[in-house]
Chain A
Amino acid sequence: MSAGAGMNSETEIKLRRYKNNLAIGGRYYIIFGVWTVVKLLMELTMGDLSFEYLIEETVKSGVDRLFAIIITAVFIGILFAFILIVHLVVGRNVARFVKRHDNRKRFYTYTSIVTIVNCLGFLTYPADIMTGVSSLSLTFIASLLVDISVIFILIDLFYSAVMIEKLIKQKPAVEGV
């Protein structure tokens, strides 16, 4: 009933734990992409920045109404696709790093970019409050909490990846492999 020698060493157990952290984080990031699209969709249908408002603004610049509708829809479609693709690419890179560990550079580059973007985006919260664009509503707080958790997940991705690399380097020395 016992496992083979070294299979349950402290190093192997830690490796599995950090790999699991990474896998969950990667999946969460993909789900977060879907959530971002849903949030934007809600904003466009029920928020101040509605679909109609965007069309009216486009019409004001002197284009035909039908053309304004098409251009707005295409723009929103591209935006949604871009958001989903970015999250999917980052998430899949995390999964690949966990399984094959052959995309080190890409993993760190992509994760760094999205972490910086998310941190910058996070700065809009205090700015919005100070300029009066947003108030401390429940929606605002919920959105804030989601963004905090995303930043936390991204930092955890980095931490887990670094720990995995450290443990892999340690492995031969510790276990004589």
Chain B
Amino acid sequence: MQEDFHYYATYCAAYLSGYSHSESLDICYSAQFVDLCSATYLTGIKAPAQAATTQLQMEMMNTRTDVTGLQNITRIWAPFHFLPRDLYATKDKKRPKKYMNKYRLICGPNGALVKDIVELAKGKPLQSVGIAMHVLADTWAHRNFAGTPSLVINNTDDEFYEFIAGEDGEQKRKIKFQHSLSAPDDLDKSIYTSSLYQRNEKNIMNLGHGRAGHLPDYSFIKYMYLPAWDDYRVMIKDNPSDYRHAFCQMIYAMKFIRGEIDSFETDVYDFAAIKDYEERIDGILRKRQLSASSDWKAFGEDLSGESIEDFDVNKYQKEYVDAPKDEKAGTFYGLFIDGAIAHKGLVCDRIYQSGNKLVGFVQEMKND
């Protein structure tokens, strides 16, 4: 997912769940900031780098893929962008533990960890709510890929097909991948950018959905491919449907966090909340475009009657930098950092407790 969903759509979901305009802005800012809060950024404002929620391309290029390097990568990508669906998943055929550890990190919606992270955000500042919403939404977009570099899990073959809706129903069109980062995706010709094939199991190119390019990040696309981990089974990924579920699950989750609902259960969606906007939301989700930001922004502004400012990564930077040391924790970034560390601690602890050492030795810190 990208800024259109993590910022603007999250604003809409927050507003629909009952938050005010300014609260919704704080939530969606935090949700989008998860994609930008790198160790480089944090070091630049003298904040703890351990709160990093993403890695820049340059940072990843400099990361060694030895055991410690891989653990550092996994500790960021698995909790914040590829939340594992089932840490105790099994396969029909017996596989080595090394394989199973990676297999169990495959991301997907409605896992036990989704419930854990939403419950963790309850009673916490809005920054934590934003972090949880980012992660929840990504479980839908990034499903079937793992937040650890692995060829045997994240690789795909070249047989990608896109389903294009037409007058005679859906037409299958072959997707062509290019590997130039500077070239934009060509939606008319179904030419998309993806990471290069690398034979090395732990190569950084084999992290997450790199091999499938940005396909998981576009709400409009419905495509078919062969994931490496699923024993030659074809997968059809229906993003418009998945994104709709993500949107309605966010509304439901935020209603729970606000105290409107007593308990949060997985596989429950607040479809009723979007009943009056169904057509408009469906139109935004299915529109073939590289970014749906302007459409979501217009929808959000119509909902609240307020103007939604564009995302500015440095919006709260000055506040944090200028704050005295003992007051930094109370600033916007201070609260975000606390939320990020708590979130990372919880997810990594669960992974470690499951007997999976891909995040290293972790113990969750429990605050009163």
Q: Mark B2-29, 1 if CB is under 8 A from A, else 0.
A: 0000000000000000000000000000
Q: Tell me whether B232 and A13 are in contact (CB under 8 A).
A: yes
Q: Tell me whether A2 and B232 are in contact (CB under 8 A).
A: no
A20 on the B face (CB < 8 A): yes
Minimal beta-carbon separation of A31 from chain B (angstroms): 12
Q: Tell me whether B237 and A8 are in contact (CB under 8 A).
A: no
Q: Tell me whether B226 and A3 are in contact (CB under 8 A).
A: no
Complex Cα–Cα for A13 and B234 (A) = 8
- CB contact between B235 and one of A1, A12, A16, A20 (< 8 Å): that residue: A1
A4 on the B face (CB < 8 A): yes
Complex Cα–Cα for A37 and B238 (A) = 48
Give the most central of A1, A16, A20: most B CB within 10 Å: A1
- Contact residues, B228-256 vs A (CB, 8 A): 231-238, 242
A106 on the B face (CB < 8 A): no
Q: Tell me whether A16 and B224 are in contact (CB under 8 A).
A: no
A17 on the B face (CB < 8 A): yes
Minimal beta-carbon separation of B91 from chain A (angstroms): 14
User: A8 and B233 in contact (CB under 8 A), knowing A3-B224, A16-B226?
Assistant: yes
Minimal beta-carbon separation of A95 from chain B (angstroms): 13
Q: Tell me whether A4 and B233 are in contact (CB under 8 A).
A: no
Q: Mark B136-175, 1 if CB is under 8 A from A, else 0.
A: 0000000100000000000001000000000000000000
Minimal beta-carbon separation of B343 from chain A (angstroms): 26
Q: Tell me whether A3 and B233 are in contact (CB under 8 A).
A: yes
- CB contact between B231 and one of A1, A2, A3, A13 (< 8 Å): that residue: A13
Q: Tell me whether B233 and A13 are in contact (CB under 8 A).
A: yes
A7 on the B face (CB < 8 A): yes
Q: Tell me whether A3 and B232 are in contact (CB under 8 A).
A: no
Q: Tell me whether B233 and A17 are in contact (CB under 8 A).
A: no
- Contact residues, B302-357 vs A (CB, 8 A): none
Q: Tell me whether B238 and A8 are in contact (CB under 8 A).
A: no
Q: Tell me whether A1 and B232 are in contact (CB under 8 A).
A: no
Minimal beta-carbon separation of A19 from chain B (angstroms): 9
Q: Tell me whether B226 and A2 are in contact (CB under 8 A).
A: no
- CB contact between A2 and one of B157, B236, B242 (< 8 Å): that residue: B236
Minimal beta-carbon separation of B199 from chain A (angstroms): 12
Q: Tell me whether B237 and A7 are in contact (CB under 8 A).
A: no
- CB contact between A8 and one of B143, B157, B234, B242 (< 8 Å): that residue: B234
Complex Cα–Cα for A14 and B232 (A) = 8
Residues from chain B with a CB closer than 8 A to the CB of A12 are 234
User: A1 and B237 in contact (CB under 8 A), knowing A17-B232, A20-B232?
Assistant: yes
Complex Cα–Cα for A12 and B237 (A) = 19
Complex Cα–Cα for A39 and B236 (A) = 46
- A-B pairs with beta carbons under 8 Å apart, 23 shown: A1-B143, A1-B235, A1-B236, A1-B237, A1-B238, A1-B242, A2-B236, A3-B224, A3-B234, A3-B236, A4-B236, A7-B234, A7-B236, A8-B234, A12-B234, A13-B231, A13-B232, A13-B233, A14-B232, A16-B232, A17-B232, A20-B157, A20-B232
Chain A residues close to B by CB (< 8 Å): 1-4, 7-8, 12-14, 16-17, 20
Known contacts A1-B236, A13-B233, A16-B226; can you find 11 more A-B pairs with CB under 8 A?
Answer: A1-B143, A1-B235, A1-B238, A2-B236, A3-B234, A3-B236, A8-B233, A8-B234, A13-B232, A14-B232, A17-B232
Nearest first, the 9 A-B pairs at minimum CB distance are: A16-B232, A3-B234, A13-B232, A8-B233, A7-B234, A17-B232, A3-B236, A8-B234, A13-B233
